[in-house]
Structure 1
Amino acid sequence: MSSESFSHTFEIVLFLAVLASSVFSLCLLTLPSQYDPFRDKPPKDPEEKQKKSVGKDEKETIGFKPGRTVQVVVLGDIGRSPRMQYHAISIAKHGGRVFLIGYRESEIHPDILSNPLIKIVPLGPAPSFLRSSNKLLFPLLAPLKALWQARGLYRALGYRTEPARWMLVQNPPSIPTLGIAQLVCFFRNTNLVIDWHNFGYSILALKLGANHPLVKISALYENIYARFAAAHLTVTEAMARVLKEKYGVTALTLHDRPSSLFRPISAQERAKFLARFPETAQYAQDLSPLAKNTWKLLVSSTSWTADEDFSVLLDALSAYSTQATAKTHLPKIIAIITGKGPMKEHYLSRIQALNQEKKLSNVIIRTAWLTPEDYALLLGSADLGVSLHTSSSGVDLPMKVVDMFGAGLPVTGWGNFEAWPELVKEDVNGKGFRDFEELLNLLIDLFEDKNDTLSTLRKGALKESEHRWDDEWDRVGGKLFKLVK
């Protein structure tokens, strides 16, 4: 090799070495700052710690506790993540500072908006073309969407929020959430806590099938990152068992419980709400106890997704309408369906078709999106709640049933999965079904009420309403985050 060629090669190698060194130095200088408990301070101008005499129904207002900052993360709509909102409220109630990170698409709990210890850090939504529900494009668009989400989540966790002692992450979605969360926790000296609502791979299997390569990759990804977390919370004992057996990790079970927003209401409150609520206003008199059981109010909340087969309820209501024509003593039904989701328009077209075919002559179906306060009043005003959650994993539970019990509302729900008995006590506060025919028979039995079955279930639901989130969280979450002794 000539000296000129050697010199040229040396210059290239030197340039690459300097470039690599510069990039490495830049990365080191721009890494997220680490958590330091001695610098964990309250937000500017926080409310001072106040003490006052308290009665039985009052609680002491607690000020900020140094060293207790928590990032609460949900890679979804904060407003439709009640459990994560309750976590944030509970942490702040005990003096912890909270950065609540997620998409801000719907109304957020008022206690979060009014609390100076809670700061919402909104994530930017992915471009619309990446949110396509097309199954054929999913293998191409899903990785691109995950990369977009990973970038936004990394910035939010590492640079748009101060370092925290704890990071509480909702799972699912697991991709890219768990990987980004673990990376930031490593850089910032933060303890990662995963709150397991379900398994991400089991939900993906509903869309792609259990044997799809992406489903298997998702399951492996979830399994690996679960082992790096400092602690785990689950919504059921059954899920904690699966984590122990399959993932080799020990989890604490923190059952969902209703917040104080969901409560039994008086007859006067019920009448007032039904008279002003647009979907029930013209039927308020028919729904009155004085109407001698001529109408019943049924409520179902759905996310209009594949793990909730809404056709089961439609088929049951259609068959019930036919039965009510022959059995005139059966009450008519007003069914209020709440929620948002990708399959809503599909089912609305089915409802329209059933109405045109006069198959719902004794049933009125209305859809609504309510404020949290009005949704709580709707549950308190209803005669029966219906859950269509089928559980992709068999070990998760629907939060909607918890809210129904909080309002003292008896429940019927899809009960053909392992964790169902952890939530519903059969023939005490609710009843399970496995297909539309069983749901139809339940509707007839409960609304005929020859044996006072519905009244018995309501008593059980009212008893269940006494179990509250604060008590459950203090016992498990409060001790985990060292906010409760």
Structure 2
Amino acid sequence: MSKGRVSVVVLGDVGRSPRMQYHSLSLANEGFIVDLIGYSGSELIRELQEHPNVTLRYVPSCPDFQSKFPRLFGYVLKVLWQILSLMTVLFCKRRSDYLLVQNPPAIPTLAVCWIYCVLMRSKYIIDWHNYAYTILALSVGNESILVKFSKWFEGWFGRRANANLCVTKALKMDLEQNHRIIATTLYDRPPDCFHPVPLQTSHNLFKKLSEKYEIFGSSDETKTAFTEIKTDGVISLREDRPGLLVSSTSWTEDEDFNILLSALQLYEEMCQTSACALPPLICVITGKGPLKQYYCELIDNAQWKNVKVVTPWLHPSDYPQLLASADLGVCLHMSSSGLDLPMKVADMFGCGLPVCAHTFKCLNELIQHEKNSYVFSTSDELSSQIQSWFKDFPNNSSQKEICHYFKEELAKYRSLRWHENWKLSTSSLFL
């Protein structure tokens, strides 16, 4: 017998909202019937697709009104479309006892979900990942009337929720002090699929990726660019392998990839000096988003000899394996509000991968500089960290000691996984 029915709402590509997918899976595993509502697009995690308690309900994609009409009028048409399409999906299914909605986006999502909960007498829960108005301000400026309206809108509907969740203690304090909203902090934690992997798994992944991206492969069938099968059949890391740097992104304004590209340019220049002790570097940047083409053009124009950048979109099961097979992660998330944390770092930590992360004011809730990873502010600092990490790679004994120390700290971090943390912090809201 089920514990009740929950609508989990994301007015965006559900496959690119891992936290809401994890919420849905935890609820389903705890015996709730879950309607996961949002836009189609990216593939969902396998466990969610196969779970008998989960039904995917896709909202019709919005036409591109803003390319056909003046900007403000196109925005109004977009909002009207979203209101009607989301209402149709919500009301054309069995009543939910609870509704859990992701914010942002806020307009019109929070209003539509609140109306549904009032009419259906459902418990209304908001999960605050950030503020929509601070993201909007990145493109239109803080003084825009749209930004001011969005800030009021989020606060007004946030105060009407029966319960609120948020991703950091800093966001919890800001919600209370500036919006009179009481929230429970639920930190992102990696689910079980993000974990260290054996070399056999890494070898198989590189073989698979080499079918589409030659840079991962080798002309010798017993080898990849990073691994090899010895004569006794044992798989080992190649002594002459390149360094493997990995970053993931949604290619949006709150991640300035010029910082990484400048750092890689400095790395390339250092590799060309006579005293270079750095290996060739392969940088894998995963993800989809509006600025991807712009940055890919910059990458193509760079024409580096010692640094190679690839930008694949990975299958959900391959992404954790890539993180676990990499040498170092990079996170360029800068946070429009300074109050959220990058889930990608939690995933990297789950795989035992140390990270260089762009600093902002609440990042210390996740990363302690030189204790479990590094933080940086400029491209020079990032390049210095990458060069230090890969100096005399893979035989730098002092760097191996630092890496071992970091990984011991990350092992402590990943001892508490998503579902256990979810039950401790959140399960009481669904009673």
Q: 1:349 aligns with which of 291, 297, 300?
A: 297
- What are the Cα deviations for residues 18-50 of structure 1, in whole angstroms up to 9, with x where unaligned? xxxxxxxxxxxxxxxxxxxxxxxxxxxxxxxxx
Say if 2:272 is the partner of 1:325: yes
- 1:281 aligns with 216
Separation in structure 1 between the aligned mates of residue 341 and residue 240 of structure 2, nearest angstrom? 32
1:215-254 paired onto structure 2 within 5 Å: 215-254=147-186
Separation in structure 2 between the aligned mates of residue 478 and residue 233 of structure 1, nearest angstrom? 12
> What is the CA distance between 1:294 and its match in structure 2?
4.6
Say if 2:83 is the partner of 1:150: yes
- What are the Cα deviations for residues 159-183 of structure 1, in whole angstroms up to 9, with x where unaligned? 2x21111100000000000011111
- 2:284 aligns with 336
1:55-454 paired onto structure 2 within 5 Å: 64-66=1-3, 68-130=4-66, 132=67, 137-159=70-92, 161-278=93-210, 279=213, 280-282=215-217, 285-288=224-227, 290-292=237-239, 294-326=241-273, 327-355=275-303, 360-415=304-359, 417-448=360-391, 449=396, 451-452=398-399, 453-454=402-403
Equivalent position SS for 1:372: coil
Q: How many residues align?
A: 409
Contact 2:101 2:125 in 1 (8 A): yes
**Alignment RMSD:** 1.7
> What is the CA distance between 1:324 and its match in structure 2?
1.4
1:446-465 paired onto structure 2 within 5 Å: 446-448=389-391, 449=396, 451-452=398-399, 453-465=402-414
- What are the Cα deviations for residues 295-340 of structure 1, in whole angstroms up to 9, with x where unaligned? 1101100111101111111111111011112143111110111000
- What are the Cα deviations for residues 356-412 of structure 1, in whole angstroms up to 9, with x where unaligned? xxxx21101001011110011111110011111110000001111111111111111
- 1:34 aligns with none
Contact 2:65 2:75 in 1 (8 A): no
Equivalent position SS for 2:125: strand
Separation in structure 1 between the aligned mates of residue 397 and residue 338 of structure 2, nearest angstrom? 34
Separation in structure 1 between the aligned mates of residue 183 and residue 331 of structure 2, nearest angstrom? 27
Separation in structure 1 between the aligned mates of residue 240 and residue 153 of structure 2, nearest angstrom? 54
Stretches of structure 2 lacking an aligned partner (at least 5 in a row): 228-235
> What is the CA distance between 1:450 and its match in structure 2?
6.0
Stretches of structure 1 lacking an aligned partner (at least 5 in a row): 1-63
- 1:45 aligns with none
Separation in structure 2 between the aligned mates of residue 390 and residue 293 of structure 1, nearest angstrom? 35
Identify which range, 444-453 or 254-263, moves more after superposition: 444-453
Separation in structure 2 between the aligned mates of residue 441 and residue 318 of structure 1, nearest angstrom? 12
**Matched AA of 1:418:** K
**Matched AA of 2:88:** R
Equivalent position SS for 2:277: coil
Say if 2:407 is the partner of 1:467: no
Contact 1:409 1:462 in 2 (8 A): no
Q: In the superposition, relative to structure 1, how do residues 397 and 466 fare at CA in structure 2: closer, same or farther (>3 Å)?
A: same
Identify which range, 194-203 or 279-288, moves more after superposition: 279-288
**Matched AA of 1:331:** P
